[in-house]
Amino acid sequence: MATAHGTSPEGPPAAGAPLITRLDYWYGQIEEKLNLIAALSIFVLMVVGMVQILGRTLFDFPIYGYIDWIESFAILYAILGISYCQRQGSHIRMEILLVQLRGRGLWLLEMLGILLALIVIGALVYSTWENFERAWRIGDSSMDIKLPLWPSKLVVPVALAVLWLRLLLQLAGYLRLVANPRQPPLAVPVPHSVAEAARLEIEEIERLAAAERHRTGG
Residues belonging to the chain: 218
169-213 confidence digits (pLDDT tens):
999 999 999 999 888 888 888 766 556 666 666 776 777 777 777
Q: What's the CA gap between 20 and 87, in Å, rounded?
A: 13
How big is the CA angle at 149 (ends 144 and 153), to the nearest 5 degrees? 145
Query: What's the pLDDT score for residue 130?
Result: 96
Query: What's the pLDDT score for residue 187?
Result: 84
3-state secondary structure of 3: strand
Query: What's the pLDDT score for residue 144?
Result: 83
Strand-pairing partners, residue 200, are: none
- Decide if pLDDT at 6 tops 60: no
Phi first, then psi, for residue 2 (nearest 5°) are -135, 180
Q: Please say whether the beta carbons of 162 and 122 come within 8 A.
A: no
Region class of 110: left (phi > 0), else alpha (psi between -120 and 50), else beta? alpha
Instruction: Tell me which H or E stretch contains 60.
Output: none
Q: What's the CA gap between 91 and 116, in Å, rounded?
A: 16
Query: What's the pLDDT score for residue 1?
Result: 46
16-30 confidence digits (pLDDT tens):
778 888 899 999 999
pLDDT band at 10 (very low <50, low <70, confident <90, very high): low
47-105 confidence digits (pLDDT tens):
999 999 999 888 888 888 888 999 889 999 999 999 998 888 776 666 666 666 677 87
Cβ-based neighbours of 98, under 8 Å, separated by 6 or more:
2, 106, 109, 110, 191
Q: Is the dihedral of CA 157, 163, 167, 173 positive or negative?
A: positive
- Decide if pLDDT at 31 tops 80: yes
Cβ-based neighbours of 63, under 8 Å, separated by 6 or more:
48, 51, 52, 55, 69
117-165 confidence digits (pLDDT tens):
999 999 999 999 999 999 999 988 888 888 999 999 999 999 999 999 9
Phi first, then psi, for residue 93 (nearest 5°) are -130, 140
Q: Please say whether the beta carbons of 195 and 125 come within 8 A.
A: no
The CB density around residue 141, as the number of other CB atoms within 10 Å, is 14
